[in-house]
Structure 1
Amino acid sequence: MNSPPGKTVGSRTYLHIDAASALDAVWTERWRAAERLAGLQRGAHYNLIRLDAEGPAIALLHYPEFFDEPFPALRESWLVDLDRQTVSYRTYADSRNPPILHRKELMLPDDHPRRAEYAALTEAAATLGLFDRPTRIGYQRQWRALVREKGYRIAGHALVPLGNDDTGESDRGTPSPLAGEDWEGGGPLGWQTARQLTALTRYNFSAPVQTLARYGFLDGRFSLFDYGCGRGDDLRGLRDHGLNAAGWDPYYAPDPPIHPADIINLGFVINVIEDRDERLEALTRAWALAERLLVVAVMLANPNEPRGQPFRDGVRTQRGTFQKYYTQAEIKTFVAAALDAEPIPVAPGVLYIFRDPDAEQRFLLERYRSRRTPPRRSVAPDRERRPVPRPDRATARYAAYQEPLDRLWAQYLSLGRPPDAAEVEDAAPLLEGFGTLGKALRFLERFKNPDNLTRARAARIADLEVYFALTQFERRRPYAHLERGLQRDIKAFFGDYAAAQAAARNRLFQIADVEALAQACRHAAECGLGWLQEGQSLQLHVSLVEQLPPLLRVYVGCASVLYGDYRHADLVKIHIASGKLSLLRFDDFAGQP
């Protein structure tokens, strides 16, 4: 199967149906199969095809103004999964901010009569730097705002300087992503939400910032920008700890410049914006600023919370504010669709979206890692390992290089395999004392207890099975490539990627095995991890979850995929027979007997 013609973005290729004759036989058959499954007629229902070289899905897209509009808007889409034989439909007919196309000449045949006209527009846009930040160009409102920021407007298939604009468009302005605006159609004409009243005075860090601290992002390595910082309590706390933190708010801090940062915090912002398209604009603008990580936090629906008057897709409160209460699944779906990236729930209402796939993989792998090796069972006295006297020369050599050797040994145990040279920091003393890293490792293997390595290897294999099992459960989009450390892990422990996935799949399917769950719960209780009601449940404190057998960590992890980080509870209750998990939270759990 050859690479298809058209405009390529990552693993995806877009082409107009006029160029489909250039597809090879394999791609042609896949396209026609998708068309039959969706029950569509080319030209009448759709005019663009999106092919994915790394997945089974084909998208059939309808851009009714493809030839007439310089940057045509998407009207309808059908996503056809040929493996699952499913069709998903979405319409943007009523959207005020639909996705748009760029570089449309690339989707047409080489001999198309208007290809040169479209290419000239693309060249002009590229010259102005309009394509420099791809995350800001995918939707109509952001694109038009970006063109205005560059001092131009769109006139037909040309970009015209605003100095020559006699249409009045340049005076209309662009609503700030977080600023209020008057509008009709959902409530009283002229009503304007008082968004500034939703900003809280905080005496502790907000929930999204607390997750950043929990996962090690506030150790000084990364800059942070709080987009919609409210009264700035998070910023003051971060700066008091010596961190590089800045922020902006349309009401409380409108003067500081908005600029990119390693981490962008969009905390409790989009849920107070009453206009859906403006919500999307705020989200995509924040994503454009995020160089490493975007953190999104929203209010979750709670039936016990007071409500206001129904208003659009949220409520209008007595204080004159707007609140959109999401479910965890709803906010995850919204963010995924808006950013074309897979968010990771890390707490109720808090999502992480990584810019770098390698960083995302490292985060997930570390998140699913056990925090200690499994408890050791007692060994019969006659089988206990007796200390072997070591020659004085080896002891002296160890003493001479003890610090770098101890670091190397700790890394060896952490990885469960010999570290690669690229993974060892400050290897110079080891090379000086032993000649090569391999010789230093072999020296350690003779000098240290090999039982520790055996346990470390088993623990690492279990961690990887948990990681791959949960990524399969979450149905995360396959990575174009694996992070280098993960590649080494797979080769050392499984041989190849297919074997790793098969082992993880077996582990995942085990959560439906009641007897396997019961046995894992008994093993955990025998090791002092929780209180067991035989055949019914295992109840334990959340701090012990990372020490559970791998099957139970997969069981709890599946719930976390749907709910968010279980650490916000106090107790976890694993129901053995019913397939349920209870997360229990108490007032002052640690302080009351």
Structure 2
Amino acid sequence: MNSSEYRTALAALSYGKRLPGALYILDPGETSERIPQDLLITFSELRRRLEIGPEFNLLKLHLAAPKVSFLSYPDFDRNPHPELKASVIVDLVTGKVRRDDYSKRANPPILHRKETFLPPDDLRRRKFAKLTKQEEEAGLLKETSRIGFRLNWDKLVAEAGYGFRGHRLEKLEADPEPKSPKLPHPRKVARHKTAIVRRDLSKPVKTLLELNQLRRNESFFDYGCGYGGDVEGISRLGYSASGWDPVHASDEAKSKADVVNLGFVLNVIEDPAERVEVLADAWQHAERLLVVSTLISGQEAYENIRNYGDGVITSRNTFQKFFEPAEIQSLIEDTLHVDAVPVALGIYFAFQNQADYHDFIASRSRRFIDWESLSRKLGLLQALRAKRDPYETHRELLDRFWESVLELGRLPRDNEFEDLAEVRKACSSLPKALQLFIDRFGEPTFEAARLRRKEDLLVFVAASQLREQIPFSHLSERLQRDLRSFFGNYTNAQDQARELMFAAGDPDELELAVRTLDFGWVDENEGHFTIHRSLLDELPAILRVYIECGARLYGDPRAADLTKIHLHSGKLTFTYYEDFENTGFPELTLRIKVDLRKLFVNVFEHPSGPDRQLLFFKKRFISSDHPGRRKIEILSDRLRAMGITESNVGHGISKGDFEAAIARAGLTRALTK
């Protein structure tokens, strides 16, 4: 079923719970006069092929893209507000499948207004609708941020003094204690002890600045600021910044700001219902962007811990919850009803405006262009032959204009370059200003920039289709302009992006792309291709799309020192080393493996000590003009003299074994006597 057929089938549906992004219906089975035949056939075929059982009884039909979610609510008939147990999301275009298990989550999503999922002639509608009316009259459905999760809903109902008898809402004689998660060791958790004194900006705030998502004219609010280190640091950088903390800054007001940081707050809250409320409240204070960060499974470094609820109690009587990456991402998305963008391990961006979201995603696919360097590489740097040279009198203006032209791959509009009037005045017109650049640096320089920008857009469109097909109207004016300029129309861009995605899923195509490169290291035995982060932008589009697929689950690949593409197994590995650039044999500190087929992320911490793996022969992964390459080559020669070669080093040697070996040989860490 293609996009057009899918949209036509959805338009023919006359019932269901319609939300801004999706239409929900109870599974109609294999026959239904109210469901278009094409949809029924599609549902049946997907169930058969993917072995989706009858317990997946609710269907979510995504409106923005041909995508179907099979949702399991086994207690749909019996429970007035059944819990989501599992989901299977299928992209009908790419065939990509994502499975999520909610059965062990302490606070799963629940359903309301069950009658809306049923066809008009279903006999259950009357009973379900009667309950909905009772809940509306009791005012229980007003606080939409609290009702979507089990514990939050139970607490809200109990606070209002109600209970359920089947599908009837009843007022209780005495208000019971609000329900809370069943914790095995009831105790007072010392949340205040989780605050730390910072001598540097936190990782989420550094990431925010590195990605240019806190702009000069914007305000910053730190929700749960602890001792206020980030607020102080951001203020010193010249931004308007404030913060609030329930313990250390309780007298400060919670204030709205362009950017709100919820940094490592959710993971110290032992009550899953409270996490939802805090997340929703922080979102209400974010005008443009909410930054959410938590600890991730695999980062556990505490001793003497005890299980407590869905987390652990540390020896300092603090609580810590280590989230699975998919778990925290779905919590953000289920609570806020927007896409959560992973930007680093455990750090997510949530944008209030869809155009801002898509602009950010596109910016991650955009590469920096040094136009003078580009011209030199092409051998095109040449002297201007014209007698009149506006460049001599308007050098700074035209340099900025040309940089904008090369970044965009086209002439900028008035809202994209603020001094266009000055450029017109200096060169008579914008086309003449562009021609002046071409005369000076050669047309291939401009064409190379256009090709580079077109590839960036193609990578953006391809990677965007992994989640939802983006309506053209949801894109910013700049992106709309780019797509028209480079592809003629959005449909052409999507078609080319789809072809690129299919190619990225073909191991033979990946291997063919790798064989064309003169950098990076191919492990012939294991089928890996590994490069340093400085070379990511030099990869062909097919490999960039493959890596971007992993980035959508993990974060910015440029944060890792090395990226390993598993050419045949549909996986990526991002590795971090201690002082990679300045150390001859850097120590492995963190390894993140992303399974693109299962959409799963594994995090492996490597604590300091003699068992840490060392990296040898760094020159395999860097460019030929890397500034430290000569020193690396000298060390490589010395390793070979010791009998250690690329072919026998395997995955590396532990720090302890290596130090013992060089001690026996009477060598220093630099492998000299």
The TM-score bracket by the shorter chain reads 0.7 to 0.9
Residue 56 (structure 1) aligned to one of 51, 56, 67: 67
Aligned positions of 1:377-526 closer than 5 A: 387=383, 389-392=385-388, 395=389, 405-420=398-413, 423-429=416-422, 441=434, 445=438, 449-471=442-464, 475-481=466-472, 482-495=475-488, 496-502=492-498, 504-505=500-501, 508-509=504-505, 513-520=510-517, 522=518, 524=519
Counterpart for residue 162 of structure 1: none
1:296–1:321 Cα change, 3 Å: same
In structure 1, the residue matched to 2:612 is: none
1:488 CA drift (Å):
3.0
Please state how far the C-alpha of 1:497 moved relative to its aligned partner.
2.0
| Alpha-carbon distance in structure 1 between the residues aligned to 2:383 and 2:18 | 63
CA contact (8 A) 1:511 1:554 kept: no
Residue 331 of structure 1 corresponds to 328
2:54 aligned to which of 36, 40, 43: 40
CA-CA distance at 1:586 after TM superposition? 1.8
- For 1:533 and 1:403, locate their aligned partners in 2 and report how far apart those are by CA, in whole Å: 44
Corresponding residue number in structure 1 for 2:24: 14
- Given residue 54 of structure 2, which amino acid in structure 1 is its aligned partner? L
Q: Return closer, same or farther for 1:250/1:400 CA change in 2, 3 Å cut-off.
A: same
2: CA distance, partners of 1:294 / 1:256:
19
Q: In the alignment, is the contact (CA less than 8 A) between 1:141 and 1:281 conserved in 2?
A: no
Counterpart AA for 1:411: S
Aligned residue runs from structure 1 range 269-284, under 5 A: 269-284=265-280
Specify the code of the residue in structure 2 equivalent to 1:572.
Answer: L
The 1-side partners of 2:532 and 2:105 are apart by 48
SS at match of 1:462: helix
Q: CA RMSD in A?
A: 4.9
Contact preservation (8 Å) 1:97, 1:277 = no
In structure 2, the residue matched to 1:179 is none
1:4 is the counterpart of 2:20: no
Show the counterpart of 2:237. 241
> Could you tell me how far 1:239 is from its partner in structure 2?
2.1
How far 1:67 sits from its partner (Å)?
A: 11
Q: 1:39-72: per-residue Cα shift (whole Å, max 9, x none)? A: 539xxx85x6543333231545759688996xx4
Match of 2:283 in 1: 287
Change (3 A) 1:200 1:59: same
- The verdict on how the C-alpha distance between 1:119 and 1:100 changes in structure 2, with shifts beyond 3 A counting, is closer
**Counterpart of 2:653?**
none
Question: Residues 86-235 of structure 1: matches in 2 within 5 Å?
Answer: 98-101=109-112, 109=120, 130=142, 138-139=148-149, 169=175, 185-188=182-185, 190-235=186-231
Question: 3-state SS of the aligned residue for 2:514?
Answer: helix
For the structure 1 residues 108 and 74, does the alpha-carbon distance in structure 2 shift closer, same or farther, using more than 3 Å as the test? farther
Structure 1 residue 213, shift from structure 2 partner: 1.0
Cα deviation per residue 1:67-119 (whole Å; 9 max; x = unaligned)?
996xx455656656484597958667986664343596697749987899789
* Equivalent residues of 2:83, 2:111 under 8 A apart: yes
Q: Which runs of 5+ in 1 are unaligned?
A: 157-164, 175-182, 526-531
User: Does the C-alpha gap of structure 1 residues 261 and 99 become closer, same or farther in structure 2, counting only changes over 3 Å?
Assistant: farther
Matches of 1:258 and 1:236 in 2, distance apart?
A: 16
1:245, distance to aligned residue in structure 2 (A): 2.1
CA deviation after TM superposition for structure 1 residue 300, in Å:
3.0
* Structure 1: distance between partners of 2:576 and 2:35: 56
Sort the Cα spacing of 1:208 and 1:39 in 2 relative to 1 into closer, same or farther, 3 A.
Answer: closer
Q: How does 1:237-386 map to 2 (within 5 A)?
A: 237-302=233-298, 305-311=301-307, 312-372=309-369
Deviation of 1:406 (Å)? 4.6
Aligned partner letter, 1:14? Y
2:577 aligns to what?
585
Q: Is the 8 A contact 2:141 2:147 kept in 1?
A: no
Aligned with 1:370: secondary structure? coil
Return the letter of the residue paired with 2:350.
I
What is the letter of the counterpart of residue 575 of structure 2? L
What amino acid is aligned across from residue 20 of structure 2 in structure 1? G
Identity of aligned residues (%): 28
The answer to whether the Cα contact below 8 Å between 1:108 and 1:115 also exists between their aligned partners in 2 is no
Aligned to 2:590: none
User: Equivalent residues in 2 for 1:538-549 (5 A)?
Assistant: 542-543=533-534, 545-547=536-538
SS at structure 2 position matched to 1:585: strand
* Counterpart residue type for residue 4 of structure 1: L
Shift of 1:504: 3.0
Distance 1:348 1:266, change over 3 A: same
How far did 1:347 drift? 1.8
Deviation per CA, 1:332-382: give whole Å up to 9, x if none.
Answer: 3444454444322222221222232221222122223222358567678xx
Show CA shifts across 1:93-146 (max 9, x none).
9866643435966977499878997897899799x9947xx6565446657888
- CA positional deviation for 1:203: 0.4
Q: Do the aligned residues in 2 keep the contact of 1:465 with 1:503 (CA within 8 Å)?
A: no
1:572 to 547, 555, 562: 562
Change (3 A) 1:420 1:206: same
How far off its partner does 1:206 sit?
A: 0.6
Cα distance, 1:502 vs structure 2: 4.0
The 1:118–1:480 alpha-carbon spacing in structure 2 relative to 1, beyond 3 Å, is farther
Letter of the 1:585 partner, please give it.
Y
Q: 1:351 to 1:9 in 2, by over 3 A?
A: same
Q: Structure 2: how far apart are the matches of 1:426 and 1:330?
A: 47
Shift of the 226–511 alpha-carbon distance from structure 1 to 2, 3 Å rule, reads farther
1:480 maps to amino acid:
P
Gaps of 5+ in 2: 1-8, 165-170, 585-630, 632-673
- Per the alignment, do residues 220 and 100 of structure 1 end up closer, same or farther by CA in structure 2, a change over 3 Å counting? farther
Deviations 1:202-225 (A, max 9, x none): 100111001011011233232222
Structure 1 239/105 Cα, relative in aligned 2: closer, same or farther at 3 Å?
same
Q: How many residues align?
A: 548
